[in-house]
Structure 1
């Protein structure tokens, strides 16, 4: 009886061990991430993938989270899909008018009525400054949420969808907001871009260049040396903060997506719990993948972004 039980336990252990190997799971990394997020007051999801070692780690990696402004990455893909088909051009003229004013993040809401611009500038504003006006406009130009969602489905992404201004998704909009995704899927979308597999090689390269100019360096990016290239997009609403980052690290590229929802801390201060978590995970990953690095954020560097004196 005891011997049979031993065989059963050994069989179970081998199953999980083989399963982990098939998925190339970095068990040590996953354990450390679980420790970091365990006390978060809300639900935190993380997915990490090292493009060099092909190892991954995840916490709630396949759970659906609100994207907030990270939905602008699928919208960007939708725009370039139209460009690839010859239906749009980066240099198409756009005329901004006051009817397009939309609050929140971004710069175009402050443009003068009848300002002349182009699609390339609009797309860059959407990604770099998370501009809401150009994002809504870009969603329209990309064919709307339905067409963008068809593109995501065609890429094999089951849960990554645009909800806002998309017929038939009103209930999902109420639940998740502008968009929804899983940590694994959104990281996978950026991996496709990095590997020149999103829309086309040329489109992937141009999208990736836009993604490397993030204005929002206060969160995960603050824990990565400024001389190391990153491609990133952040998303934030009261109860959900998310961040997508690809790090072109010396030892090999790695990508991570941090998502949170049902956050108890809905503040907009530097010390918001979700933003502290994003910085903590980012710092841990940098040191995990670049153990020889001696770089640390400069003393009192956080005072710069908080507007405090040294």
Structure 2
């Protein structure tokens, strides 16, 4: 028993330091700023949660469960990553992404569509996959995997649905849980999980988690942003790897992105 306690002491000390640092930072923010945080070490028992079960507008972070559903279908033969998709004019939508600039009837593989959804947060690619996979099927998969609160309720750039309150929503605890399942090869197949992690590592957005970290830091993550929310969820591949999800509401985009970056920096410094 004494030996076990001795082994746990470093993790307990780290957890205390991390909790103190994050709590102090969050307490300094204006009361109008709402921050949801879930931090879980993948190497030991270090945890930190703040508003972890609050439903928040997901923005493009909802694209993680869409990717998982696609890979689960690949596993069962219901979705072929190498199949060609012909891009139609009617499929193009605004917001983030580059497919909207492609010529009509451009040919892409499903793999390219999936990759663009994650690396460029491409909304056209996302809507193509939602139509192909089915919104209810994506939601059922989340339920099956234990994500009982998170839900895809609308297509990308469906402003009418958003105004009517049909918003895509997640919790930071559930996004951490899904990322942890991918990391541990607990969804689809190990090879498909590795493909998902590789795609997540190629995210080109450096305005949030990466904002204050060394450029060489490896993070498998997905960002998301709307005028009223900014979020990031990912796995940090540091000596003591950890999974972190952060969403910020109640402030402007630049400040929200900075807050996410500062929280990531605190976690990075404590878990090196």
TM-score normalised to the size of structure 2? 0.88
Paired position in structure 1 for 2:262: 280
1:198 aligns with 2:187: yes
1:264 aligns with 2:251: yes
C-alpha change, 1:147 and 1:173, in structure 2 (3 Å) is farther
Paired position in structure 1 for 2:144: 154
Taking the aligned partners of 2:245 and 2:204, their CA distance within structure 1 comes to: 18
1:68 aligns with 2:50: no
Taking the aligned partners of 1:114 and 1:68, their CA distance within structure 2 comes to: 28
1:138 aligns with 2:129: yes
Which of 230-239 and 216-225 deviates more?
216-225
Paired position in structure 1 for 2:103: 112
3-state secondary structure, aligned to 1:215? coil
Contact kept in structure 1, 2:232 and 2:246, CA below 8 Å:
yes
Report deviation, 1:171.
Answer: 8.1
Contact kept in structure 1, 2:130 and 2:155, CA below 8 Å:
no
1:87 aligns with 2:78: yes
Paired position in structure 1 for 2:68: 77
Contact kept in structure 1, 2:34 and 2:248, CA below 8 Å:
yes
Q: How does 1:1-310 map to 2 (within 5 A)?
A: 26-38=15-27, 39-40=29-30, 41-142=32-133, 144-165=134-155, 174-175=164-165, 177=167, 179-249=168-238, 251-261=239-249, 263-265=250-252, 267=253, 272-290=254-272
Contact kept in structure 1, 2:209 and 2:264, CA below 8 Å:
yes
Report deviation, 1:126.
Answer: 0.3
**Count of matched residue pairs:** 255
Report deviation, 1:273.
Answer: 1.4
Which of 221-230 and 106-115 deviates more?
221-230
Contact kept in structure 2, 1:30 and 1:59, CA below 8 Å:
no
3-state secondary structure, aligned to 1:243? strand
Report deviation, 1:176.
Answer: 6.2
1:190-247 per-residue CA deviation (whole Å, 9 max, x = no partner) reads 1110111122212211111111101101221133322232101001001111011211
**Structure of larger gyration radius:** 1
Taking the aligned partners of 1:279 and 1:230, their CA distance within structure 2 comes to: 13
Q: 1 or 2 for the larger relative contact order (CA 8 Å, sep ≥6)?
A: 2
3-state secondary structure, aligned to 2:207? coil
1:135-170 per-residue CA deviation (whole Å, 9 max, x = no partner) reads 01111222x21101111111111112111059xxx9
Cα RMSD between the aligned structures?
Answer: 2.1
Report deviation, 1:172.
Answer: 8.5
Taking the aligned partners of 1:176 and 1:288, their CA distance within structure 2 comes to: 38
1:247-291 per-residue CA deviation (whole Å, 9 max, x = no partner) reads 110x22111100123x232x5xxxx2111101111111111112x
Show structure 2 runs of 5+ residues with no match: 1-11
